[in-house]
Amino acid sequence: MTSSIDCLLFDLDGTLADTAPDLAHALNLTLAHFGRQPLPFEKIRPVVSHGGIALIRRGFDIQPEDEGFEERRLYLLDVYLQNICRHTRLFPGMEQVLDTLRKKDIPWGIVTNKPAWLTDPLMDALPMPYSTEVIISGDTCEHNKPHPQPLLCASERLKTPPPRCLYVGDAQRDIEAGKAAGMATACALFGYIQEQDHPEDWQADFTLEQPQDLLALL
């Protein structure tokens, strides 16, 4: 299988980039605005891959149908947008992976559920050694992950058949989307894995303790 990987696709939050510090900062500013105490970083980090809804659930212990939930979520996203790349960086070792992709002339892209109005400013501000060839955000296609459509869209734009693509993600929906798209999948264990998650049950083709583990697959 490894010899047939001609294209790499990455999830963004918790896979390509460590966005947790800035999202935790935004959540704690939101908590302060609404009269709540801040949460320690280690309580926030595991839910970051699941977006604003998960962050508000974690911070306020309320559900989307509860009064005030949407007000808090929108406030959080506004604060995050204003502070989107204060401390966000590529995960250690990811720059080496991207350099190897460049040297081997292997195309790569990003497929994220983050909406474009957050993805685009983040990618513009994120220190990157090389630019990606395709970015599929959460609102690029009609469906987002775990639906395979965004991954199929990325493979089409990169002119690489799905069976020759590897999708790397840190959430169960990433692995489900990759499998549904007919791609090889790799689970980024260095990402935002929650206590109740069981990555060993997601049936990814590969597991990665660190980004450099990808080098053995190339």
Q: Considering the domain 2-18+88-217, what is its CATH architecture?
A: 3-Layer(aba) Sandwich (3.40)
Among candidates 201, 173, 169, 212, which has minimal Cα distance to 187? 169
Enter the pTM of the model. 0.94
191/106 Cα distance (integer angstroms): 23
Residue 1 predicted with pLDDT over 60: no
Residue 134's DSSP bridge partners are 109
The helix or strand, by DSSP H or E, that contains position 150, with its residue range, turns out to be helix 149-157
Cα-trace Rg, the chain = 17
- Is 11 designated active site? yes
Is 101's pLDDT higher than 90? Answer: yes
Q: What percent of the chain has pLDDT over 70?
A: 99
Banded model confidence at residue 2, pLDDT cuts 50, 70, 90 = very low
Give 64-94 pLDDT, tens digit per residue. 999 999 999 999 999 999 999 999 999 999 9
Which among 13, 18, 22, 174 is annotated as catalytic?
13
C-beta separation of 13 from 193 below 8 A: no
Spot the catalytic one: 11, 18, 22, 170: 11
